[in-house]
């Protein structure tokens, strides 16, 4: 779709079905989690093999706390809320691996346990594809958009649980499944939503411009349908937009 993805995420049970992995990198690429770079006509493309879900023991992989997914506690309410296939292993040396033209692995990491390595990440390729398409759509609308900043990508269940409550996060947040991101556009040096409608202020109206680009992407690519939510600024952050690829349309917030 966007043609800007630079990585493929490979679950353990699917690795053996991708002959190029073994041909290029040997048996280790099939059996051991890691980032494997292959050159193509446009530069480096990465195959990233996952750690299996079963490697999570008592809520952790090694020293990294993950917690327990909703389906582990009470069963999945639908296939979309089942346990992830596995985890991308992110190290201090591979965290800057490009996974698309504008995004790297580290952009989607849970915002805690800063000193713990390796970290573990759940991320779905369609989300990255959709974000690239939203960025391109903004530009096609004549809106300056240098980059999309991911304020919150994957949230481990133990991290997500800290914000569950009235007016906060929900127990089965899509962020836990690697297909949701809270984003805003950054055009200058300040890490804050930019003035997208050029009215001299940064407010919810700018977030609505970003949300409208996501709406347009969904109309063009129905297979990327999902949630879009507009959030207002607080003292801690500017306005932002939640975008996901949950597979069905959902809307909320200050749209």
Is 22 within a domain? no
Strands, E, within the chain: which ranges?
A: 7-10, 34-40, 43-49, 51-52, 60-61, 64-65, 86-90, 119-121, 147-152, 180-186, 227-231, 240-244, 250-253
Is 8 within a domain? no
Is 158 within a domain? yes
Q: Cis omega (within 30 of 0) on the bond before 118?
A: yes
pLDDT in tens, the chain (255 residues): 999 999 999 987 777 677 777 777 777 767 788 899 887 766 789 999 999 999 999 999 999 999 999 999 887 788 889 999 999 999 999 999 999 999 999 999 999 999 999 999 999 999 999 999 999 999 999 999 999 999 999 999 999 999 776 556 778 899 999 999 999 999 999 999 999 999 999 999 999 999 999 999 999 999 999 999 999 999 999 999 999 999 999 999 988
For the chain, what is the domain count? Answer: 1
Is 31 within a domain? no
Could you tell me the residue range of the domain that residue 75 belongs to? 54-253
Is 30 within a domain? no
Is 180 within a domain? yes
Is 173 within a domain? yes
Q: Are 9 and 125 in contact (CB under 8 A)?
A: yes
Is 105 within a domain? yes
Task: Please give the model's pTM, rounded to 2 decimal places.
Answer: 0.95
């Amino acid at each position: 779709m966007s043609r800007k993805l630079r990585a493929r995420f490979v679950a353990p049970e699917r690795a053996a079905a991708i002959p190029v992995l073994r041909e290029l990198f040997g048996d280790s690429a099939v059996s051991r989690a890691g980032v494997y770079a292959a050159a193509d006509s446009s530069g480096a493309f990465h195959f990233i093999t996952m750690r299996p879900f079963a490697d999570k023991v008592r809520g952790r992989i090694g020293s990294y706390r993950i917690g327990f997914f909703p389906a582990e506690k009470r069963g999945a309410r639908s296939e979309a809320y089942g346990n992830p296939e596995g985890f991308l292993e992110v190290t201090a040396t591979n965290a800057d691996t490009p996974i698309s033209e504008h995004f790297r692995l580290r952009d989607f990491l849970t915002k805690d346990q800063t000193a713990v390595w390796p970290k573990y990440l759940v991320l779905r390729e369609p989300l990255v594809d959709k974000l690239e398409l939203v960025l391109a759509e903004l530009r096609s609308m004549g809106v300056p958009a240098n980059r999309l900043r991911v304020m919150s990508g994957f949230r481990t269940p133990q991290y997500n649980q800290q914000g569950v409550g009235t007016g906060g996060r929900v127990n089965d947040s899509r962020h836990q499944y690697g297909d949701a991101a809270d984003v805003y556009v950054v055009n200058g040096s300040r890490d804050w939503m930019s003035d997208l409608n050029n009215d001299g202020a940064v407010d919810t109206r700018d977030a609505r411009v970003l949300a409208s680009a996501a709406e347009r992407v969904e109309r063009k690519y129905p297979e990327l349908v999902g949630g879009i939510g507009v959030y207002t600024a607080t003292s801690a952050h500017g306005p932002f937009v939640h975008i996901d690829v949950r597979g069905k349309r959902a809307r909320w917030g200050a749209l």
